[in-house]
Amino acid sequence: MTSIDLNADLGEGFGRWRLTDDERLLSVVTSANVACGFHAGDAATMRRVCELAATRGVRIGAQVSYRDLAGFGRRAMDVPPAELAAEVAYQIGALEVFARAAGARVAYVKPHGALYNRVVRDEEQAGAVVDGVLWRTPRCRCSACPAPGCWNWPGRRGCR
């Protein structure tokens, strides 16, 4: 039987401010791309979304981005590959804490905004993202767009 994974970007807020109605969306989606603090999200928001997702059986994914709170992760940045890999691992690690506390795990990683657009055409940046993913979660899946560059980089480093 064919199935469709319906996902949405969640946890994109800070404190009392929320961009979306995460609770309502979690009643519809099968996967949640949770903001990990670099473009949006904070510890309390990540914890809340992980708890809600876990109770509903929704897969949790780390939505990683460039360090760009003011631009919501939508500004292009030139980050050295080693630094980008470390920042990706850091963001995944932050979300892993809350996913585990909720009895779940980080099932996949999805780049956000300018980083998502960059990995389509820049294999060095794409490789840095995959390196960061593999440092944290060697069995994790990478989610990206269906562009030729995106299909090449995960397999080269053993990521699915």
Percent of residues, the chain, with pLDDT higher than 90: 68
- What pLDDT, on the 0 to 100 scale, is given for residue 14? 83
Domain boundaries, the chain: 7-156
Q: How far apart are CA 55 and CA 132, in angstroms?
A: 28
Which residues sit opposite 8 in a β-bridge?
A: 32
The overall pTM is greater than 0.95: no
The answer to whether 156 touches 127, Cβ cutoff 8 Å, is: yes
Under the banding of pLDDT at 50, 70 and 90, the label for residue 86 is: very high
* pLDDT value of residue 158: 57
In tens, the pLDDT along 96-134 reads 999 999 999 999 999 999 999 999 889 899 999 989 998
Domain 7-156 has CATH 3.20.20.370: yes
Position 137 scores a pLDDT of 66
Specify whether the backbone of 11 is left (phi greater than 0), alpha (psi in -120 to 50) or beta: left
In this predicted model, what pLDDT tens digit does every residue of 55-79 receive, in sequence order? 999 999 999 999 998 998 899 999 9
